[in-house]
Amino acid sequence: MRRSGYTVLGSSEEDVEGDAADGKYEDIEEAKPFANIRSIDGNPYRKTLCLVFTLFFGGLLTLLVSTLILLGHLDNDVYADRLIPLIILGFLMFIPGSYYMRIVYYTFKERPGYSYDLIPSCN
């Protein structure tokens, strides 16, 4: 019988045999921090993380530019026709970007229940 992913708790051969009979095993994944950062082939999810950062910071930038147009710091006569599309585009990028950025942050901090698998992949 194959038991991949688990090791028996215990330090001596007698402890190993006794624990194996009791069924006490330790999960190997808990011993490896940041084990969920890498994909199956060993490369990190670069495209997915790039998408998250692009959505978050791109949305933040477009909301900042639209706020500057609205407050009059940029020439309102020239850019007034671009104000509403910038606000809509900024919110459409910022809302999912901030949601996925929160998942990335909690996964990096190793909070239970969070992993990079919660973010849709771009592969």
CA distance linking residue 37 with residue 114, whole number of Å: 11
> Average pLDDT, whole number, for the chain?
76
Domain match, 80 and 104 both = yes
Q: SS3 of 38, please?
A: strand
Average pLDDT over residues 65-75: 88
Which residues make Cβ contacts (< 8 Å) with residue 54, sequence separation at least 6? 97
CA distance linking residue 92 with residue 107, whole number of Å: 24
CA distance linking residue 38 with residue 53, whole number of Å: 18
pLDDT at 76 over 90: no
**pTM beyond 0.85:** no
Q: What angle do CA 123, 56, 80 make, to 5 degrees?
A: 125
Q: What is the pLDDT of residue 49?
A: 85
Domain match, 23 and 42 both = no
Domain match, 43 and 63 both = yes
Average pLDDT over residues 88-116: 91
**What percent of the chain lies above the pLDDT cut of 90?**
33
Q: Which domain holds residue 9?
A: 1-32
Domain match, 24 and 49 both = no
The total number of structural domains in the chain stands at 2
CA distance linking residue 23 with residue 97, whole number of Å: 43
Distances in Å between the Cα of 68 and the Cα atoms of 73, 92, 95, 114 are 5, 18, 20, 36
